[in-house]
Amino acid sequence: MAKKVPAPKKPAADNTKQLVEAIATVKHLQDFIKEHGSVDKALGAVSRVCGLVELTGGIGQLKQALEIVGREGAEPQEQAPPQPQQ
């Protein structure tokens, strides 16, 4: 009969790294929920962003669209020349 080879153990450094990343992720998630007021509102925001990503065809395209809209909103508005008073 062949002996079963035990699965290699992950080094402790990997476990520590995963724990630190998990803690950071949870902290960011808590901050995100606080910014939106509740879990339901945070989930609604995520859902809307996912919809925008799908609508624009991906994260890259969404970023480009937001940059274009941001530039257009930052351009100074041309004012019509004052109308002569009669």
pTM: 0.53
Paired tokens of 24: 């950071």
Let me know: does 56 contact 65? Beta carbons within 8 Å: yes
All residues at 6 or more sequence positions from 65 whose CB lies less than 8 Å from its CB, including other chains: 56
pLDDT above 70 covers a percentage of the chain that reads 73
DSSP three-state, residue 2: coil
What whole-number distance in Å separates Cα of residue 62 and Cα of residue 68?
A: 10
Return the domain boundaries, the chain.
33-72
pLDDT (tens digit per residue) in 58-83: 999 999 998 998 888 776 655 555 56
Residue 45, judged by CB atoms within 10 A of its CB (0-12, 13-18, 19+), counts as middle
**DSSP structure class, residue 84:** P
